Amino acid sequence: MNRLVDISKPEDIFEQYRQTPIGLLLEYHNLKKPYDTYIQAKLLVGMCMDNRKHLHIPDNFAFIIRSGGANLRYSEFKISYAIAIGGIQYITLIGHNNCGMVNLNSRKDLFINGLTEKAGWSKKEAEEHFNYYAPMFEIGNEADFVFSEAKRLRLRYPKIMVAPMLYKVEDNLLYLIKEN
């Protein structure tokens, strides 16, 4: 995690993100900047669906897409809509440490048993479901995945600024990810 940059003062925000909605997100969340009023979203946030994460941002400031591991591969139409119709020019991807989408195979039995006991699935159906979808949603290392997803989105949407971040669940703060 030595690629993570602590944001404890405005000067810690990477220069390219200052004076942008990405910088504002960091100021609102980490630095407790007083909220401004927004009529329309300025930012698209892609973040994990994990319930341990909550962003401190003003109402109407951001569109938020939650998906396991902050994996937006299957949300491109929603991203395109936010850009084309919502006017979004900035995206931040927020992964988090201790993510359940890392090493999914270690939870295979729990997953299968959970679907059979709690959802009424047969063991065969649950296992086929896991085997089909787990490779699509496995993210490996959280910071590496968010960084690679940011690179992918930059190639897909070359005029859009995309910032990779990591949320640490133990301190509830956002960290920028060094890219080189």
Q: Where are the domains of the chain?
A: 4-101+140-177, 103-138
Judging by DSSP bridges, how do beta strands 62-66 and 43-47 pair with one another? parallel
- Assess contact for 68 and 124: CB atoms under 8 A: no
pLDDT at 1: 53
Does the model's pTM come out above 0.85?
yes
Tens digits of per-residue pLDDT, 61-115? 999 999 999 999 999 999 999 999 999 999 999 999 988 898 999 999 999 999 9
Among the residues of 95-141, which ranges form H helices? Answer: 108-118, 123-137
Provide the token pair at 179. 């890219």
Task: Please name the CATH architecture into which domain 4-101+140-177 falls.
Answer: 3-Layer(aba) Sandwich (3.40)
